[in-house]
């Protein structure tokens, strides 16, 4: 076969559906696609996922396919059998070994279901509180902390035989734009990039990260061509990543259907330029026709020399090396018989080991997630005289928590704090609050709080919803002592800087809510520390 005929190997594709019949065989077997990405839309139960991934692998007669997902933890969990903590919670816990253990647990569950590659960890240093898409997906604002926890995350995955992907190179942490919607720009010079953004990626490379995902972000210090994101920049991918940082592993793009690419050079043209620039594998997550069109365009570009033969050979070498590593890592996993977290059974083909499906959502993993949530709980301000709570003089107002950015998956509406309070403090009066309460709702809630000395307000991205800020201010004006429970990380404290104190959650999930409430009830200490700077406080 000619190099052009191998173009499909440079693609990772997504599809809709949950059954083997939904898998695009014409692309995987027919076009020789090298990888598949799974989203929540594809994942229903451990057994269903195992059957789906087994079918996908059956379409590849030689090397195993890369089967990936974004199982970051926290607000990005494509499959939630265990409510794994996210990166900022782990950064707040400040225990790299805990990060390693959590990462190993995540990887064991993925491996059990036949998913051999995680598009994690996020190594963006979130120094911009206004960042709309990274935020709590980052370990924090200190590049050394991000680097240390990122390396621990990589080690945990390798212990469990799953590939890792450091993202988003060269860094998406200091943006105020979501690249799903538009092109973000980071204007800093190379000296600053070396001191902040690149530190975690250097450490990840030293830790043996299996892949690095590119950012659809424009770095003028790296790329002089205007409005050229790193994903399609030879100076970013070849000059900076390959030559300056010395990385020789797999480079994969973020999804090429994101608007930072699609509304710029276009998805198909962007794919060609990304491979020419130094990307080894391109990700097209959603649209089958774009996937087919892009494969045809890459074949044509190889044929006419726009993508040089040497560049294709390098990319194929790295893709195939990653696929071969998947097979070796799975085969090296120990076999067991007791169904514990370390247990492995042979796949139907007998060629590799997999954890038993019973590991997915097992009691050991649920307790590990709860341990991490407890370690992350962070108290700020003055809670003296408030903790332990007296339910008779306290009111809880809990804002509805639901996804607001594209990268998140839909969840049940409501607040996990409200649900946790019903179990842990049934005598505590609690009221649900809409995401952006109107003036009438604020007035009603202030009247409801008339008999309470202390009002707990469980906020949710308060800087984006002015009604939440108005509620806090109205309660303060009415003489109530306000304690915040930010459900989505510490940045809500910037929107309401004069509250008495706060107990910070880092994701709107049940273990985090329970840990925060137990702290307020005086049942557990707040051991976490803020992993980001809050300059306005």
> Measured on CA atoms in the order 171, 174, 178, 182, is the torsion positive or negative?
negative
Count of other CB atoms within 10 angstroms of residue 366 = 16
Q: Please report how the helices 96-112 and 363-376 are oriented relative to each other, as an axis angle in degrees rounded to 10.
A: 150
Of 254, 343, 492, 508, the active-site residue reads 254
Identify each DSSP E strand in 434-513 by its residue range.
454-458, 481-484, 501-504
Contact 284, 267 (CB under 8 A): yes
The answer for residues whose C-beta is within 8 angstroms of residue 398's C-beta and 6 or more apart is 415, 417, 418, 421, 430, 431, 432, 433, 458, 485
- 223: tokens are 């790329």
Which is it for strands 353-355 and 344-346: parallel, antiparallel or unpaired?
antiparallel
In angstroms, the CA 66 to CA 285 distance is 14
- Whether 180 sits among the annotated catalytic residues: the reply is yes
365 catalytic residue (yes or no): no
CB 464 within 8 A of CB 482: no
> Of 239, 374, 401, 250, which is closest to residue 315 (Cα–Cα)?
250
d(CA 84, CA 96): 15
**Other CB atoms within 10 A of residue 345 CB:** 15
Length of the chain: 537
Q: Which entry of 149, 180, 354, 365 is annotated as an active-site residue?
A: 180
Structure tokens that stand for 361 in this block: 């959502």
Distance of CA 124 to the CA centre of its chain: 11
Q: Which residues are catalytic?
A: 180, 254
């Amino acid at each position: 076969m000619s190099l052009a005929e191998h173009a499909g190997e440079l693609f990772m594709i997504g599809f809709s559906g949950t059954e083997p019949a939904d898998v695009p065989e014409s692309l995987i077997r027919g076009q020789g696609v090298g990888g598949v990405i799974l989203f929540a839309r594809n994942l229903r139960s451990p057994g269903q996922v195992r059957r789906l991934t087994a079918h996908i692998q059956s379409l590849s007669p030689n090397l195993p396919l890369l089967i990936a997902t974004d199982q970051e933890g926290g607000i990005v969990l494509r499959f939630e059998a265990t409510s794994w903590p996210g990166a900022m919670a782990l950064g707040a816990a400040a225990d790299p070994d805990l990060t390693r253990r959590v990462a190993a647990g995540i990887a064991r569950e993925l491996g059990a279901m036949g998913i051999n590659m995680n598009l994690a960890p996020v190594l963006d240093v979130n120094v911009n509180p206004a960042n709309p898409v990274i935020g709590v997906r980052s370990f924090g604002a200190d590049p050394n902390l991000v680097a240390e926890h990122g390396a621990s995350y990589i080690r945990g995955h390798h212990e469990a035989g799953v590939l890792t992907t450091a993202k988003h190179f060269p860094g998406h942490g200091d943006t105020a734009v979501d690249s799903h919607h538009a092109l973000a720009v980071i204007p800093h010079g190379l000296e600053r990039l070396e001191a902040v953004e690149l530190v975690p990626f250097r450490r990840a490379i030293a830790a043996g990260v299996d892949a690095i995902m590119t950012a659809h972000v424009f770095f003028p210090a790296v790329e002089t061509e205007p409005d050229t994101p790193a994903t399609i920049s030879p100076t970013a991918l070849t000059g900076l990543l390959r030559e300056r940082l010395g990385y020789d592993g797999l480079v994969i793009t973020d999804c090429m259907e994101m608007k930072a690419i699609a509304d710029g050079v276009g998805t198909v043209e962007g794919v060609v330029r990304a491979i020419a620039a130094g990307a080894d594998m391109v990700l097209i997550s959603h649209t089958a026709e774009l996937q087919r069109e892009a494969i045809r365009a890459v074949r044509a570009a190889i044929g006419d020399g726009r993508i040089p033969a040497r560049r294709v050979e390098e990319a194929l070498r790295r893709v195939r090396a990653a696929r071969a590593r998947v097979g070796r890592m799975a085969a090296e996993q120990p076999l067991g018989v007791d169904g514990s977290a370390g247990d492995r059974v042979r796949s139907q083909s007998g060629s590799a080991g997999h954890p038993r499906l019973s590991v997915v959502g097992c009691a050991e993993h649920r307790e590990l997630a709860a341990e991490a949530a407890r370690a992350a709980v962070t108290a700020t301000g003055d809670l003296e005289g408030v903790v332990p709570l007296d339910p008779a003089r306290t009111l809880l107002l809990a804002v509805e928590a639901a996804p607001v950015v594209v990268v998140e998956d839909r969840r049940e509406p409501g607040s996990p704090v409200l649900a946790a309070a019903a179990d842990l403090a049934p005598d505590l009066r609690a009221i649900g609050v809409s995401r952006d309460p109107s003036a009438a709702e604020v007035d009603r809630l202030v009247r409801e709080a008339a008999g309470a000395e202390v009002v707990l307000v469980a906020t949710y991205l308060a800087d984006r919803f002015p009604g939440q800020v108005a509620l806090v201010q109205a309660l303060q004006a009415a003489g109530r002592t306000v304690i915040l429970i930010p459900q989505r990380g510490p940045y809500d404290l910037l929107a309401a800087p004069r509250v008495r104190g706060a107990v910070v959650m880092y994701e709107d999930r049940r273990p985090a809510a329970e840990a925060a409430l137990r702290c307020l009830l005086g049942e557990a200490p707040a051991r976490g520390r803020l992993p980001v700077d809050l300059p306005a406080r």
